[in-house]
């Protein structure tokens, strides 16, 4: 409560601090995606395929609409990669039981294998960063990240709430 603007000027809101935040996000994302991209290339897949495989793996039984709401892309864009994944046997579609218009998505065994392989690399990267930063830092990391995420998606990270 003490800080008025000038002497106790919150250091972490200085221009340079914010710029560093911007850059850290750029560099971290650049390096976070780099390894998986290599693996994906071996399958002739791209980052878009990864995102689909990832989120379907995380939310088996999700609908196409659910996926679109997460990815923030058009259904035409999604359709391209999703179609490939279905045709090549990485993802299964089955009609919804209550609403038969829906196509519920899930990974096949083959899909789950790829998902594991891809995500494992990224999990290792994060685990290393978490471990070297320590539990308190991780708590802070989560708080800041949460603040950057669109309000309606924050629920995904709050404990115990239904999806």
The helix (run of H) or strand (run of E) holding residue 103 is: strand 103-107
Mask for 90-129, x = binds DNA (CB under 7 A): ---x--x-xxxxxx--------------------------
Q: Pairing state of beta strands 91-95 and 103-107?
A: antiparallel
| Residue 46 interacts with DNA (CB under 7 A): yes or no | yes
Among 9, 34, 46, 61, binds its own copies (CB under 8 A): 34
Closer to its own copies by CB, 77 or 89: give it.
Answer: 77
Those residues whose C-beta lies under 8 Å from the C-beta of residue 10, and which sit 6 or more positions away, are: 3
By CB under 8 A, what part of segment 102-131 binds its own copies? 119, 122-123, 125-131
Does 43 interact with its own copies (rule: CB under 8 A)? no
Cα torsion 33, 35, 41, 45: sign: negative
Q: Which of residues 138-157 bind DNA (CB under 7 A)?
A: none
**Residue 153 within binding range of its own copies, rule CB under 8 A:** yes
105, β-bridge pairs:
62, 93
At 80, give phi and psi (nearest 5°). Answer: -60, -55
Query: Burial code of 34-58, b = ≥16 C-beta within 10 A, e = fewer?
Result: eebeeebeeeebeebbbbbbbbbbe
72 binds its own copies per the rule CB under 8 A = yes
Positions in the binding site for its own copies (CB under 8 A): 10-13, 15, 17-32, 34, 51, 54, 58, 72, 119, 122-123, 125-150, 153, 156-157
């Amino acid at each position: 409560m003490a800080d008025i603007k000038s002497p106790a000027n919150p250091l972490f809101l200085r221009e340079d601090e914010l710029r560093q935040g911007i850059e850290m996000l750029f560099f971290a994302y650049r390096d976070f995606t780099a390894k998986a991209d290599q693996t994906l290339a071996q399958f002739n897949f791209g980052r878009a395929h990864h995102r689909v495989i990832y989120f379907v793996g995380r939310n088996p039984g999700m609908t196409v609409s659910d996926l679109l709401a997460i990815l923030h892309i058009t259904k035409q864009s999604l359709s391209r990669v999703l179609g490939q994944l279905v045709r090549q046997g990485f993802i299964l579609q089955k009609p919804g039981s209550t609403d038969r218009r829906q196509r519920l998505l899930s990974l096949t065994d083959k899909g789950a294998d790829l998902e594991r392989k891809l995500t494992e690399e990224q999990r290792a990267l994060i685990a290393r960063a978490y471990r070297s930063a320590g539990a308190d830092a991780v708590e802070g990391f989560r708080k800041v990240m949460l603040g950057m995420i669109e309000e309606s998606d924050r629920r995904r990270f709050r404990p115990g709430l239904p999806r």
